[in-house]
Amino acid sequence: MDDPNQAASVHLGTFANLIAANLKEKHMRKSWTWVKWGVLASSLWLTGCGTISTMGKLETGAATEAGRMWDRWIEGNGDIAIATTWERKVKAGVTANEVEQVLKQVATERNMKDVGTLPLSKELEARTGQKQKLLTVYSFCTPATARRMVDFSPHMSAYLPCRISLVEKEDGLWMYTLNMDMMVKMGRKLPSPLKEEAKAVRDTLWEMMERGSKGEF
């Protein structure tokens, strides 16, 4: 197809079908979903073939994952941290020490290295002499996968190492970590075996969150 505008129109039609399928799947559960996809479609039209070319390089399901992030961004009143993270409320009766033990146990089971613990609340207590609400950051890494990921995209180094935060709030303990689906599902297509390795890291963090929040050894 020689006419770039005509080509863009064809691809936009395909993109519109994708949007319609996404809306049907969600049963149009939020009226502002139309606004979301309208913005995306408008951006696609304005940026033209460059955007279309980039979309062709993305992982399958990238648009759906972007839609989920948009939903959380709106629901979180524009808090980008809500849009880009996973959270779990720790089950009542499960202690911070038990959460920590589960995280380290899962890391061992899944061959992920424990690379450090940052006890921020304890540090603040030592500095101020005042009791602080619990805030601890646990770091984990799979070095070989991290190396390959940074070789694929040096910007990925900003996400290293993988971290899970344990935070005490008024209603109890909560766990937070980066939404690993951004890395696995939303970006450029990962080559094999990096794709499989990244998926394994994603699944390990998910398991840590699930089991840690329930105190499941």
**Residue-wise pLDDT tens digits, 40-97:** 666 656 666 666 677 788 998 898 999 999 999 999 999 999 999 999 999 999 999 9
- Give 138-191 pLDDT, tens digit per residue: 999 999 999 999 999 999 999 999 999 999 999 999 999 999 999 899 999 999
Domain end among 83, 100, 130: 83
Task: Judge if 90 and 62 occupy the same domain.
Answer: no
Q: SS3 string of 121-182?
A: HHHHHHHHCCCCCCEEEEEEECHHHHHHHHHHCHHHHHHCCEEEEEEEECCEEEEEEECCHH
Task: Judge if 109 and 185 occupy the same domain.
Answer: yes
Which position has the token pair 């094999």?
192
Residues 6+ apart with CB under 8 A from 7: 1, 49, 52
Total domain count, the chain: 2
Closest CA to 194 of 130, 158, 160, 144: 144
Domain end among 33, 61, 83: 83
Query: Is the backbone peptide bond immediately before 193 cis, with ω within 30 degrees of 0?
Result: yes
Tell me which of 105 and 186 has the higher pLDDT: 105
Task: Judge if 93 and 177 occupy the same domain.
Answer: yes
Rounded-to-integer distance, Cα 71 and Cα 24, Å? 16
Task: Judge if 99 and 205 occupy the same domain.
Answer: yes
CATH number at residue 151: 3.30.310.70
Q: Which domain holds residue 15?
A: 4-83
Task: Judge if 72 and 139 occupy the same domain.
Answer: no
Three-state DSSP at 215 gives coil
Rounded-to-integer distance, Cα 197 and Cα 134, Å? 32
- Looking at residue 60, what is its pLDDT? 87
Task: Judge if 118 and 210 occupy the same domain.
Answer: yes
pTM confidence score: 0.79
